[in-house]
Amino acid sequence: MKKLALGILGSGRGSNCRAILEQISAGQLAAEARLIISDVFDAGILDIAREFGVPNAYLPPGKFRTRLEPAVEMELVKLLRDAGVELVVLAGFMRVLKEPMLIAFPRRIINIHPSLLPNYPGVEAWKQALEAEEKVTGCSVHYVDAGIDSGEMIAQRKVPVMPGDTAESLHARIQVAERALYPEVIARFCEA
């Protein structure tokens, strides 16, 4: 069976990446992780890549805080193309992608966000939901466009906010849902 070639980008711990790689290893996802890239030198996601034997790279992001320097973003496109990547999976990647990536991979970049978008885009979305006294929040997988957490919705999963929840306990519950939802959504791309 043909396997969908994934490129996974992340800046942090990589628990979503791990969930995806575990499903691939278990034969439950007809995909292949071709390349894992981080803009953070010591990000956990790179350790996970090494643990699973996936080619990986640290990409020094350049002088900007919230995006990649244009030349760096062009290098990212080249790395992903050279690896034959068909679907770019953002798993906790903390930089906004711009034209080089958006043009190179139209409707082929997806992101997971810890809220029911369009509510609470941006950072620490679970804290925003808690502060707003929501009873239900969740996570969203969406296409990436030029905005922040604004692309077309693909799938969402609801998560209850429990009495006494802290930011940490709520975030942990959302992440459990994320780790189930993201591989499910990627599986849809494998079938397409």
Residues recognised as catalytic:
113
6: region left, alpha or beta (phi > 0 left; psi from -120 to 50 alpha)? beta
Which of 150, 148, 157 minimizes the C-alpha distance to 180?
157
Q: How far is the CB of 30 from ligand GRF (least distance, A)?
A: 21
**Cβ distance to ligand GRF smaller for residue 134 or 178:** 178
DSSP state of 161: P
Contact 138, 115 (CB under 8 A): yes
Please report whether residue 178 would count as binding ligand GRF according to CB under 6 A. yes
Nearest CA-CA partner of 114 in 32, 33, 13, 190: 13
CB of 2 to ligand GRF, least distance (A): 26
Draw the binding track, 87-126, toward ligand GRF (x: CB under 6 A; -: no contact). ----xx-------------------xxx------------
Residues that bind ligand GRF (CB under 6 A): 10, 12-17, 91-92, 112-114, 175, 178
